[in-house]
Structure formats: structure tokens, C-alpha cells
Chains A and B, each alone.
Chain A
Amino acid sequence: MVSRWLKRFYVFLIFLFLYAPIMVLIVYSFNDSRIRGTWSGFTLRWYIELFRDPTILKALYNTILVAVLAAIISTIIGTLAAIGIHNMPGLSKRIILNLNYIPVLNPDIVTAVSLMVLYRFLKLDFGFTTMLLSHITFCIPYVVLSVLPKLRQLNVHLAEAAMDLGATPFYAFRKVIIPEIMPGIITGGLMAFTLSIDDFVISFFTTGNGVSNLSIEIFSMSKRGINPTINALSTIMFLSILILLLIINKRTEKLDERGARIEKN
């Protein structure tokens, strides 16, 4: 009995630790006082300020645009690469997989400075393009890593059978292989999207000319001092994640139900 209570208490403590800061941010986002620690009444003015701030809105736009583009491009390149790698003989496969691991295992800051040096060397203008290229670079490996296991589970003879039945290789690829590995592709794409949204270090070093993303804005805001609009921003981000998850949850539940019904029939 005691051990069960202890367990419960431990779980409670851990989740308190994980959520307390977020809750405090949310509460303070409604605080009228600029100064932390003093509560001087309820207000929505930080939210109004947030939506009036052109820099934050522009940064939000950049963040989402980079994340979507990086996710799409890296998913395409990564999926193709995974299919190629899967069909390779042992040695080249191992070499490419190891190369693939470099951006995963390298510390962010090393990847960041190496890309910065590259762009300088190529005399590229720092800005949106360089940031996007960098994001694609660190996203592809994750796509490859999430598609490969699905390919391993794939029945080797499926594509062959399709081609025997008269399908062109491309048709077989599109109609047989792609649908089979779709879950892996979607996982990879989502992972790329979240990684790109959350990135700070690599964007920080590889952007320029006034192009920034949310992380960079938050960093410079927190360096400038406590700014209640950051709290408002956190609240909105937290709530949108929560709502998104609830929707996904509801949808999968519905799908499950439907699946169960079909099975019954």
C-alpha cells in the first residue's frame, strides 16, 4: 500500500516539475503588472500587444513557412534516399547510413557553425534561403531513419508481383511501395516539422538580414528582459498544441470505432 502511494506521489512530483513552469507562464500572461512576482490584476493587454507586434507575426510566419517547406522537401528527398539505401549492397549502405547519422549525432552548435562557414564560403546571402537549406539538412536524416524500418517490413515480392502483372516500375512504386511505407513517411514528415519548428541554435547561426524565427525572437526578447508578451505567446502555443492533440486523439478514436464496426460486420 505504502509503495503504491509512494509511486503515485512520485508520478505527481514529476508531472508537477514538467508542468509547473508552463502553468506559471500561463497565469502570468494575464497579469497586469510588468514586474514579475507582483500581481496587479487581470488583463488581456499582452495578448493584444502580441498580435500588434509586426516582428513577432513576421517571425511566426517565417517559422511556419520554413517548417512546412523543410518538412515537404526533406520528406521527398529522405524517402527516395531511404528506398535507394534499402536496395544497396552492404558496404555502401553502411557508409551512407553512417553519413546520415552525422547531423543526428553532431551537437547542434557544430552543425550550425559548419553550415555558417559553408554559406560564407559560397558567398550566399544569409537569410531565409540559408535557414531553409539548414533545416532541410538536419531534417532529412530523421525522415530516412523513420522510413527505413517500414521498408524492412515490406514484402520483397510485392513490387515484383506488380511488375509481373504488367505494371511499369514507376507504377509499381507509386501504387504498391509508397502506400505500404506511408506510415513511415508521415512519421518522418511530422518529425521534420516539429524539429524545424523547435530549432533555435542552427537558425540562430545561419540566418541574417533581419530574417528571424520565433525561437530567435524569444531568445532576444528574454535577453532584453522579462516581457509579458512572451508569456502570452507561450500560452497560445501551449493551448494550440493541446487542441491539436485533442483533435488527433478524437479522430483516431473515431477511426478505431469505425474499424471495430467494420470488423463486426
Chain B
Amino acid sequence: MRKATFPYLIWIFIFTIVPLFLVLYFAFTTGDSQNFSTFQFSLENFKRFLDPVYINVLIRSIRLAFVSTILCLIVGFPIAYIISREKPNRQNLMILMFVIPMWMNFLLRTYAWLTLLGRNGFVNNLLTRMGFQALDLMYNDKAVLLGMVYNFLPFMVLPIYSVLTKIDKNLLEAAEDLGANRATTFRKVILPLSLPGVVTGTTMVFIPAMSTFVISSLLGGNKSNLIGNLIERQFRWTGDWHFGSSMSIILMVFILLTMAITNKFDKEKEGRGGGLW
């Protein structure tokens, strides 16, 4: 039976391990990206990244990803909680309604905001018709954040919801019997038990938010870069695959570290069960 894994092992080796080592190799060399014989070992790429210009971009990416994750949590937790308290039939319907937009191409969903938020877009048309001043809603950080929350909110809601529905009802009754009011029950029972879902949701929002280049490019008006834009540009535009690879490695290491930390946080609590699967 174990032999059944062989095809996949070969696949992992060729398409996961080798590519990562190639990126690592590129990151630690310089030369003409298209000519392997010119490569020379060097730490130049990482030194170059230490320039405040690039560090600023990294910090910006972290900040936006962090804020959007928090926003998703603030907006998503209550809705996950409300859904988990509904009757089973309604629960299924509401979760389905959360999932349907996810099945639409994410570029289309992002693009839709262009129509809504533009200077002469739908929202501003409504505002001016009601006699208000038109607002600048597009091409700034707020628009980028909005795009992130819009795209990644379901990633936060679904894991939290799946953990909340698994909470044993008897526990809640027990808490009430012991004299806890609703706020205390929420704080002392529901919140701690939902933590695995929150952790999963947080990572699932943070990772794509940290590495996106599409949302910042479509809704941010190319005014400010995220690290994803930098990587994209090195590979598709400037052609410096070495520098691009080193930034990919930095992004990867950063995300693995964040996850290791959140996972540790998660492990301290007993009982897993968060996750989409």
C-alpha cells in the first residue's frame, strides 16, 4: 500500500522541492538571470534588500496585511457567531451565501469595486444625487484594504464558524446553570473554544493579504507597492530573477515564522479542530 505514495513523492520532489532549491540558489547568486554559467555566489541581493526603500515596502505590506486581518476578524467573528446560532437550515443557507461569491473569479470581484468606487462611480453618483459632496474612494490605501477584506473575509468566517458549531451545547448550559450571564459565558467559554478557528482564519487571511499584487495594482492605482508587486516586477519587468528570488525567500521565511508563532499560540490550547477540512 505504501507504494501508492511513489507517484506523489516523485511529483513533490520535481515540482515542490527542486523549485524551492532553485529559488534559493538564485537568491544567493548574482549574474545574468538567463545564463546559468554567469552565476556567482553572493549575498548582494539580501544586502540590496536592506536598503530602506525595500524595507519600507516590506513594512507597508506587513502593516496592510495586519490591518486587513484585524478588520476581517472584527467584521467576521460576529457574523460567524450569529450564523452558528441560527437554525440548521438557515445556517446552511447563510454559509452557502458566503461561499457563492468565492466561486466567482476573484479578479472579477475585485474589478467590481472599480465600478462602485470610481470618481464617477456608483457610490459617488448616489452621494451627489442626494446632495452630498463626492468622495475620493479609489486609488488609496483604504481602497486596497477594502479589496483585501472583501476577498478574504470568507477565509476568516468559515473556520471560525466551523469551530463554533462544534462547541458542545451542554457546556453553554452548564455555564448558565452555574450562574454565568451571557457576557461571561461568551468571554469564558465561547471565546476560548473558538480560538483554533480564529488562528486558522488569521493565517488564511494574512498570507494572501501579505503577498497579493493584484489588489494593490487594481485598487491602489499603482501608487504604493506591496512586496508582491516588487517580486512580480523583478520577474516580469526588470528581469533580475536573483533579486526577485531573494525577496521571495524573505517573504516565505517571514510567513513561516508568523505561522510558527501563531501555531504555538494555538497548541497551548487543548483540542484542535479549526481549519477548513
Contact = CB atoms under 8 A, between A and B. Distances in A.
Chain B binds chain A? yes
Contact of A77 (B8, B111, B150, B244): B8
Interface of A: 7, 10-11, 14-15, 17-22, 24-25, 28, 35-38, 77-78, 80-81, 83-88, 96, 99-100, 102-103, 105-110, 113-118, 120-121, 133-134, 136-137, 140, 144-146, 149, 194, 197-198, 200-201, 205, 214-215, 218-219, 222, 226, 230-231, 233-234, 237-238, 241-242, 245
B125 interface: yes
B210 A107 contact: yes
Interface stretch (B49-57, B92-100, B183-191): B92-100
B100 A108 contact: no
A159 to B, nearest CB: 9
B252 A11 contact: no
Contacts of B4: 80-81, 83-84
Nearest to B154: A18
A99 B111 contact: no
Given A84-B4, A115-B19, A18 B98 contact: yes
A201 to B, nearest CB: 7
A37 B34 CA distance: 47
A227 B42 CA distance: 46
Nearest to B117: A21
A99 B16 contact: yes
Given A36-B121, A219-B107, A241-B103, A25 B252 contact: no
Contacts of B5: 80-81, 83-85, 88, 96
Given A10-B78, A114-B23, A21 B150 contact: yes
A110 B251 contact: yes
A110 B210 contact: no
Interface in B162-215: 203, 207-208, 210-211, 213-214
Interface band, chain B: 35 or more
29 contacts: A11-B94, A18-B98, A18-B153, A19-B101, A37-B122, A37-B124, A77-B7, A81-B9, A83-B4, A83-B5, A84-B3, A86-B1, A87-B1, A100-B12, A107-B207, A109-B248, A110-B23, A110-B248, A110-B252, A113-B235, A117-B241, A118-B15, A145-B277, A200-B105, A200-B106, A201-B214, A205-B235, A215-B107, A218-B107
Interface centre among B4, B97, B256 (most CB of A within 10 A): B4
A99 B17 contact: yes
B114 interface: yes
A131 to B, nearest CB: 13
A108 B215 CA distance: 14
| Interface-centre pick from B7, B17, B97 (highest chain A CB count, 10 A) | B7
Contacts of A201: 213-214
A22 B104 contact: yes
Contacts of B18: 118
A179 B6 CA distance: 22
A18 B112 CA distance: 11
